[in-house]
Amino acid sequence: MTDNVVHLFKDPPADTDDRAPAPDAPAADPLPLEAAEVRPVPVWRRSGRAVGRAARDERTRAAGRAVVRHGSYVVGGTRIVARRAWDGRTAARYERMIRAAEAAGNLEAAAEWEERGRQYRAARHQRRMDLLTSPEPLVKNAAYATGGTLAGLLLLGVALAVATKEPGDVVTPLMAVVEFIELMIVIVSVVWGPAVAVAPWLALCGLWAVGRHQQAAPQWALPAQQRGSDAGAPITPSVVVTALRDLGIAPLRKAIKEMGDVGAAMLSPIKIAGCGVEVDVTLPSGVSTQEVQGRRRKLAENLARHEHEVFITIPTAARTVRLWIADSGALDEPIGPSPLVLDAELRADYKKGKAPWGQDLRGDAAALSLYQRHMLVTGLSNQGKTAAVRALALWLALDPTVEFRIADLKGAGDWAMFDGIATVLIQGPTDDHVIQATEMVESGVTEMERRLTAPPGTAFPPLIVLVDEAQVAFMCPAVDEEKRPYGGSKATSRYFMAARKIHNQGRAVNVLLWQGTQDPTDQNLPKLVREGAHTRASLALGTESQARMALGDKAVDGGAAPHLLRQGLDKGTLVVASDGIDIPAGQASITVRTHYIDTEAAAEVGARARALRDGVTTLRVIDTDEPTDPLTDIAHVIGTAPRVLTQDVLQRLATTNPKAYGSWTHADLKRVLEGTGAQPYKSDGRMVVGRDRIARALANRTNDGSASAAQ
């Protein structure tokens, strides 16, 4: 019969699993390795993997998060509503505020809250006592009200009956009220059932809404846009308090925990300040302002900002730190061009004016008074030091009474636009340039000493002696013929001693030293020279110890942190310590983002400054080995001015060629010019040398020369 069976499938598969091999069957070959590995995986393991895959699937996780989130909203909302109700019914709020004030060490506020709590309790007690005695008047009042209403309705009915002449109308108003009440009862009896059914759901929705509004769910369960994307999030009191709490300062954490919800009592109102916000934090007792300052990076990260976007300063109020928190990325936006470039009519006033330098972090204009202040600007290389000092010099150049003597010891042409403005312009990095720069500073000392011996009441035009890249001078190994070094910081070091002398006495007679220096060390910027400057400003620096050199301990202890500026990114941003700039009360320094005036724009401003001046001749120091021709040199130092004071001629000659003219007196000048027809003469009561007379003397000499040559 089996032969007659027709299989409905082709070659049925051999079911090797279920059937044991026949005892007499030949032993099967052992399975090759590959075959062993593809053995089916047990069902339990496959199901486990499938469950794991499903659990890891993003859709499952999103669904899980949604369930937890919405559940948490309800639970959190219930907690919040319950606490609000509890706060409303009890004195818990006052207790909490007292604890917060105590934790913050503010005993005055604690006493005030205690008093408010006492008043609240007294009022509550009074209400309860009133409740005990209230039923009798309540009943009475209800009886009066009912009687009054009935009487009123009847009166109305009587009036109606008189009007309609229907005696039955007396009760019409009364019946209308009865019918209305009946209708209400019907409505309530109809609505009551569904209302009772719906009310719990409405309450649930309300609690959910409260929880959702307060984001009362774990961070990980929140929607993606609220979770972890707090970079640049607005700064709210709770964000600041949480950031402070998580700063890792145990007493601060403990105090904030004790304050609970009212930790924000430590904060002043958060104010918009430029491209960021500002808030003062009164620290609880036991927490020092220094501890908070020392954790700037952590605080910034807790506030979802970069370190350079948070500034911590110490205002006047005790135990208080002032936080300035930039809007995310705002500090990387450039500030606008300088008013010097924008306003072609701008003029400077050395004494009363302020140089428009840039903006402070609040976005307010930062202007610096340069009146009688020595200046030191430091920073790492290529951070904008020259541009910052030059911006100030360009502004001051718009006051034609100011004389500049400039040595640029880099010599890359950054100061070339001062040709025709400065009376001395040295540009170059070699030892020879340092020697000339030193002699230029020494000529400043000579001028200062002359002024110091002038009769009291003499007015002195400002003289700015400016050395850019002054570290080159301090590091110069050259020595003069008396073996005195030009560089270094010994008592015999010529640059150092000249700088110190100007620092010590130059201010009162308007002889001021401005120095720009790079990457300060004790060697390239000696302590006495750093301390002598009234205005100290620093661009990005490498270390805190350099910041201390640049700005002084007081400024750094007060929060100045140029070492935290970002090299390369914060170009042109300076931390400034000076009484010439408005610094918020209690702060020791201010951060200024300077306007950048590039070399081209600087040349334009320079041209305007030159036009305001009366033909200044810039001396590029003459090679001292050249033979001297006094008449030509005098003509050169007079330049295009019609006449120059003999004193100034002597001084310019000494600057140009100190070897030849350094020791010259009025008598020498007179001797040389005698018989040339260009002798010094009196003009407005002062001895001067006239340009035209010198030119004539030179021309006569040439003619004489050519005449004698012709003979």
Ligand X SMILES: Nc1ncnc2c1ncn2[C@@H]1O[C@H](COP(=O)(O)OP(=O)(O)OP(=O)(O)O)[C@@H](O)[C@H]1O
Total residues interacting with ligand X, rule: CB under 6 A? 14
Q: Quick one: 501 or 571, whose CB is closer to ligand X?
A: 571
Secondary structure class of 357 (helix, strand, coil): strand
Binding span for ligand X by CB under 6 A among 54-62, 305-313, 380-388, 474-482? 380-388
Q: Quick one: 386 or 493, whose CB is closer to ligand X?
A: 386
Q: Quick one: 60 or 381, whose CB is closer to ligand X?
A: 381
Among 65, 305, 385, 563, binds ligand X (CB under 6 A): 385
Asked if residue 524 binds ligand X (CB under 6 A), the reply is no
Binding span for ligand X by CB under 6 A among 374-382, 439-447, 479-487, 619-627? 374-382
Angle, alpha carbons 49-55-60 (nearest 5°)? 145
Q: How far is the CB of 62 from ligand X (least distance, A)?
A: 46
Q: How far is the CB of 383 from ligand X (least distance, A)?
A: 5
Q: How far is the CB of 532 from ligand X (least distance, A)?
A: 21
Please report which residue ranges of 586-665 form alpha helices under DSSP H: 599-612, 630-638, 646-656, 658-661
Residues in 399-438 at the binding interface with ligand X, rule: CB under 6 A: 410
CA distances from 60 to 69, 223, 533, 627 (A): 14, 14, 67, 94
CA distances from 365 to 274, 339, 351, 592 (A): 10, 10, 19, 9
Asked if residue 284 binds ligand X (CB under 6 A), the reply is no
Q: Quick one: 409 or 644, whose CB is closer to ligand X?
A: 409
Asked if residue 106 binds ligand X (CB under 6 A), the reply is no
Q: Quick one: 603 or 707, whose CB is closer to ligand X?
A: 603
Task: List all residues 6 or more positions away from 247 whose beta carbon is below 8 Å from its beta carbon.
Answer: 253, 292, 295, 298, 299, 302
Residue 695 phi/psi, 5-degree rounding, is -60, -40
The tokens of 504 are what? 């010590």
Q: How far is the CB of 533 from ligand X (least distance, A)?
A: 17
Q: How far is the CB of 54 from ligand X (least distance, A)?
A: 55
Binding span for ligand X by CB under 6 A among 81-89, 208-216, 343-351, 379-387? 379-387
With residue 67 as reference, give the H or E element that holds it: helix 58-89
Q: Which residue positions form the known binding site for ATP?
A: 379-386
Q: Quick one: 408 or 442, whose CB is closer to ligand X?
A: 408
* DSSP structure class, residue 422: B
Q: Quick one: 249 or 326, whose CB is closer to ligand X?
A: 326
Q: Quick one: 294 or 429, whose CB is closer to ligand X?
A: 429
Q: Which residue positions form the known binding site?
A: 379-386
Q: How far is the CB of 72 from ligand X (least distance, A)?
A: 48
Asked if residue 526 binds ligand X (CB under 6 A), the reply is no
Among 244, 292, 387, 393, binds ligand X (CB under 6 A): 387
Using CB atoms, what's the residue nearest to ligand X? 572
Q: Quick one: 511 or 540, whose CB is closer to ligand X?
A: 540
What's the CA gap between 488 and 529, in Å, rounded? Answer: 11
The tokens of 203 are what? 């309450």
What's the CA gap between 363 and 12, in Å, rounded? Answer: 87
Task: List all residues 6 or more positions away from 680 whose beta carbon is below 8 Å from its beta carbon.
Answer: 646, 666, 669, 670, 673, 687, 688, 689
Q: Quick one: 463 or 470, whose CB is closer to ligand X?
A: 470
Binding span for ligand X by CB under 6 A among 84-92, 119-127, 381-389, 558-566? 381-389
Please report which residue ranges of 398-474 form alpha helices under DSSP H: 431-452, 470-474
Phi-psi region of 159 (alpha: psi -120 to 50; beta: other; left: phi over 0): alpha
Closest CA to 277 of 240, 314, 224, 243: 240
Q: Where are the beta strands (DSSP E) in 488-557?
A: 511-518, 535-538
What's the CA gap between 19 and 584, in Å, rounded? Answer: 94
Q: Which residue is associated with the tokens 């000092």?
A: 389
Q: Are 174 and 153 in contact (CB under 8 A)?
A: yes
Q: How far is the CB of 358 from ligand X (least distance, A)?
A: 7
Q: Are 689 and 673 in contact (CB under 8 A)?
A: yes
Residues in 542-601 at the binding interface with ligand X, rule: CB under 6 A: 571-572, 594, 596
Asked if residue 472 binds ligand X (CB under 6 A), the reply is no
Binding span for ligand X by CB under 6 A among 97-105, 136-144, 377-385, 643-651? 377-385
Q: How many CB atoms lie within 10 A of CB 185?
A: 10
Asked if residue 382 binds ligand X (CB under 6 A), the reply is yes
Q: Which residue is associated with the tokens 């903006």?
A: 359
Binding span for ligand X by CB under 6 A among 36-44, 385-393, 476-484, 507-515? 385-393
Asked if residue 541 binds ligand X (CB under 6 A), the reply is no
Q: How far is the CB of 101 from ligand X (least distance, A)?
A: 46
Q: Quick one: 362 or 571, whose CB is closer to ligand X?
A: 571
Site string for ligand X, 127-146 (x = CB under 6 A): --------------------
Beta-bridge partners for 324: 278, 311
Residues in 649-708 at the binding interface with ligand X, rule: CB under 6 A: none
What's the CA gap between 264 and 256, in Å, rounded? Answer: 9
Q: How far is the CB of 427 from ligand X (least distance, A)?
A: 13
Closest CA to 451 of 648, 687, 666, 641: 648
What's the CA gap between 428 and 431, in Å, rounded? Answer: 9
Angle, alpha carbons 68-73-79 (nearest 5°)? 125
CA distances from 695 to 94, 296, 634, 701 (A): 92, 67, 10, 10
Asked if residue 534 binds ligand X (CB under 6 A), the reply is no
Among 157, 173, 353, 379, binds ligand X (CB under 6 A): 379
Q: How far is the CB of 572 from ligand X (least distance, A)?
A: 2
What's the CA gap between 243 and 326, in Å, rounded? Answer: 15
Q: Quick one: 228 or 413, whose CB is closer to ligand X?
A: 413
The tokens of 240 are what? 């600041």
Q: How far apart are the first and last CA of the chain?
A: 158
Binding span for ligand X by CB under 6 A among 36-44, 176-184, 255-263, 378-386? 378-386
Asked if residue 378 binds ligand X (CB under 6 A), the reply is no
Q: How far is the CB of 500 from ligand X (least distance, A)?
A: 24
Q: Quick one: 291 or 519, whose CB is closer to ligand X?
A: 519
Q: Quick one: 590 or 635, whose CB is closer to ligand X?
A: 590
Q: Are 309 and 243 in contact (CB under 8 A)?
A: no
Site string for ligand X, 499-518 (x = CB under 6 A): -------------------x
Residues that bind ligand X (CB under 6 A): 379, 381-387, 410, 518, 571-572, 594, 596
